Amino acid sequence: SQQGEEDPQALSIQEGENATMNCSYKTSINNLQWYRQNSGRGLVHLILIRSNEREKHSGRLRVTLDTSKKSSSLLITASRAADTASYFCATGRYYGQNFVFGPGTRLSVLP
Amino acid sequence: DVKVTQSSRYLVKRTGEKVFLECVQDMDHENMFWYRQDPGLGLRLIYFSYDVKMKEKGDIPEGYSVSREKKERFSLILESASTNQTSMYLCASSFAQRGGTQYFGPGTRLLVL
């Protein structure tokens, strides 16, 4: 079974609105990472949050981590059409590396 | 700038053919990975390598093999391609540190007829 599961599977918002995606996982982790994938392309790393951190910011991105609930959220503020992509969370398993990706959240930002 | 390249963006092969997918990274990363991505299933790890000539099975290694003769190059081999191996194949690399960020290639979309 997959370690990370994103929710919702798909999200559609207007430009300028905030987008929130959630990730749940099952076992203990060293860190959790979020990646973005534009259609038909490879994944791009967005942000990493360590298990001893609760919140992290990077530009318009805000990630939270709740290890007691085994969940994380990714917030994109003031969304743009260019944010349209699939977003994946990834959690470490083998030797602390990030091997397990969830099925992703497909975000559509409408102009 | 970080660079992971894959030998082909699109590939069409026939059932039973032997298929080679190559991945090259220029970042001196110890770890390299092969994933396949299918709609609704996300990325699934096929094989990974943490050093030259070393390999470990991922979640779905059946029907695949890998080769890592040089640090910068990691090859995925489909010994006898089947239609259920039609997929997007993604290569990634990372440093060996715990939780190292993975850098992905652009992907190879393989169609097996």
- The pLDDT tens digits of the residues spanning B56-78 come to 998 899 999 999 999 999 999 99
**B contacts of A88 (beta carbons < 8 Å):** 42-43
Task: Tell me the percentage of chain B whose pLDDT exceeds 70.
Answer: 96
CB B64 within 8 A of CB B76: yes
CB pairs under 8 A between A and B: 69
How buried is residue B7: exposed, middle or buried, by Cβ count under 10 Å (0-12/13-18/19+)? middle
Cβ contact (<8 Å) for A100 and B100?
no
Q: In whole angstroms, give the CA distance from residue B39 to residue A85.
A: 14
Going by pLDDT thresholds of 50, 70 and 90, the confidence category of residue A41 is confident
User: Average pLDDT in the A87-94 region?
Assistant: 80
**A contacts of B94 (beta carbons < 8 Å):** 97-98
User: Average pLDDT in the B90-101 region?
Assistant: 82
Task: Tell me the percentage of chain A whose pLDDT exceeds 70.
Answer: 90
pLDDT value at B97 more than 60: yes
Residue B65: predicted pLDDT: 97
Angle of CA points A80, A102, A59, to nearest 5°? 30
- The CATH-assigned architecture of domain A5-110 is Sandwich (2.60)
pLDDT value at A5 more than 90: no
Out of A42, A43, A99, name the one closest to residue B45 (CB): A99
Residue B98: predicted pLDDT: 58
Per the listing, tokens 């299918």 go with B38
Q: In whole angstroms, give the CA distance from residue A77 to residue A55.
A: 15
**Domains by residue range for chain B, with CATH:** 4-96+104-112 (2.60.40.10)
Out of A45, A96, A103, name the one closest to residue B98 (CB): A96
pLDDT, greater one: B100 or A53: A53
User: Minimal Cα–Cα distance from B67 to chain A, Å?
Assistant: 19
pLDDT value at A95 more than 60: no
Cβ contact (<8 Å) for B99 and A92?
yes
User: Average pLDDT in the B78-106 region?
Assistant: 90
Out of A30, A100, A102, name the one closest to residue B99 (CB): A30
Residues on B contacting A at a C-beta cutoff of 8 Å: 4, 31, 33, 35, 40-43, 45, 48, 50, 56, 58, 88, 90, 92, 94, 98-107, 109
Alpha carbon A85 to chain centroid distance? 11
- Ordered by start, the domain boundaries in chain A are 5-110
Cβ contact (<8 Å) for A96 and B99?
yes
Q: What one-character DSSP code corresponds to residue A85? A: E
Cβ contact (<8 Å) for B92 and A104?
no
